[in-house]
Chains A and B, each alone.
Chain A
């Protein structure tokens, strides 16, 4: 038997660590969603879809810019010493994933902006002549367009991975000590993005393709979850205790019902019927996938903070 009593009761630290509220899960979710959108948008560019479609390819980078800014704002809200925010950009700390992330986020803005130049939507045409000239220049050199597609895909992967690496670098939090976390967040980001584009696109081909892609991502996510859980369950006592927070502990109902059940299995089943033309595509499956992705970030961030070596 061991009984430990301590006289410390610091706010947010005791009795259980809870330093990150809703802001960080929202930031990680939006970061993952933007990562997925960049990968899909880059893929569309490489597939020359900007020549055919009227909607998603043109607007995806704009939507990504808005979502990314929303995520950055959530991150900003979480900071306790806000007026020193700029300190992030006066240094590069190579051992700090958060520093890597801040710089990656900064590079993503111009990458999304050049992506918007590939096809300026009608209402914006002629508003800023420089942008129109740059757009024309891109079309004179298709190799530039290809490079923008590749750049968006590469940065999307980096951003999606970063959202997981950020957490898994915290050795003190056993639930996050998994080399699968980056893959889990990347796949979940891709699946959320596929669901999001599926939801908003007006193009039948894109809808069908993204529903199929989302099914693949959701299936992959189940395998990654399997690896994540098995890895922790076969590790030390603290890691087993940590993952049991999700499996049969206080987070189990939310984890099994909202993340695995309603977030993955149900939409996967609905979309399998839809792509096999047994039922019509509706907004239900993609909305469930998006909510499941958001809940996943909440569960992992909250339960991870509670997991401890003590």
Chain B
């Protein structure tokens, strides 16, 4: 069984938003909404400030509260790579999953169902990278199987310092940021 995840190098990311545009185009994301976005995180006291630029999206958590709380089974963990997906024909638009996500990764599509990043599973199943990963001009994003010790994502995690977002929320996110 594979367990897909992403490793994003914040040292290389310049916040160009190519990943954001690629996602909107690839997935027909409705106007005014985003499945992925850029975060500019400035920390410290002047003049020793540090800025981390991150491309963020659904973390495809290992312990996904959005799946646990879904009353219809619309939110589910996909057989391939454990990707967290929404079956639009089962979704009643109750918004429980939206409330349960500490990252604000979900939104309600104007047609009424819950929507979010799918790791471009339609591309991945054809052997391609997710759209955001494939367009990044600095090659700061890496996608692969976290359970395969020889995959690019696993070797990067083994060799570089990294963190996840809000680990204290307990959802076990699968997007890792290299620092």
Contact = CB atoms under 8 A, between A and B. Distances in A.
Interface of A: 1-14, 17, 19-20, 78-82, 84-85, 87-88, 90-91, 93, 95-99, 101-102, 169-173, 236, 305, 308-310
B92 A4 contact: no
A53 B169 CA distance: 54
A78 B94 CA distance: 7
B17 A96 contact: no
A4 B169 contact: no
Nearest to B54: A6
Given A2-B42, A13-B107, A80-B112, A309 B166 contact: yes
A303 to B, nearest CB: 13
Interface of B: 17, 20, 32-34, 37-45, 56, 65, 67-74, 89-96, 98-102, 104, 106-108, 111-113, 166, 168-171
Nearest to B46: A1
Contact of B73 (A1, A12, A91): A91
By secondary structure, the A interface counts as loop
B94 A172 contact: no
A128 B28 CA distance: 56
A80 B88 CA distance: 12
B34 A10 contact: yes
B132 to A, nearest CB: 13
A12 B100 contact: no
B107 A4 contact: no
B99 A98 contact: no
Given A4-B41, A19-B99, A171 B170 contact: yes
B71 A172 contact: no
Given A87-B74, A171-B102, A97 B69 contact: yes
Q: Kindly list the 4 A-B residue pairs having the minimum CB-CB distance in the complex, ordered from nearest.
A: A80-B93, A81-B93, A8-B37, A81-B112
Given A78-B94, A84-B93, A91-B72, 8 more contacts: A1-B44, A79-B93, A79-B112, A81-B93, A87-B91, A170-B69, A171-B65, A171-B171
By secondary structure, the B interface counts as loop
A11 B102 CA distance: 16
Given A1-B43, A79-B93, A13 B104 contact: yes
A169 B168 CA distance: 16
Contacts of B67: 95
Contacts of B107: 10-13
B100 A170 contact: yes
B13 to A, nearest CB: 13
A52 to B, nearest CB: 42
A243 B36 CA distance: 31
A46 B42 CA distance: 64
A1 B113 CA distance: 38
A19 B108 CA distance: 9
- Which of A17, A19, A78, A96 has the largest number of chain B CB atoms within 10 A? A96
Contacts of B39: 4-7
11 contacts: A4-B40, A4-B41, A7-B17, A10-B33, A79-B112, A82-B92, A87-B91, A98-B69, A102-B71, A170-B96, A308-B102
Contacts of B93: 79-82, 84
Contact of B166 (A13, A93, A98, A310): A310
Given A78-B94, A305-B99, A171 B169 contact: yes
Contact of B98 (A8, A9, A19): A19
A8 B104 contact: yes
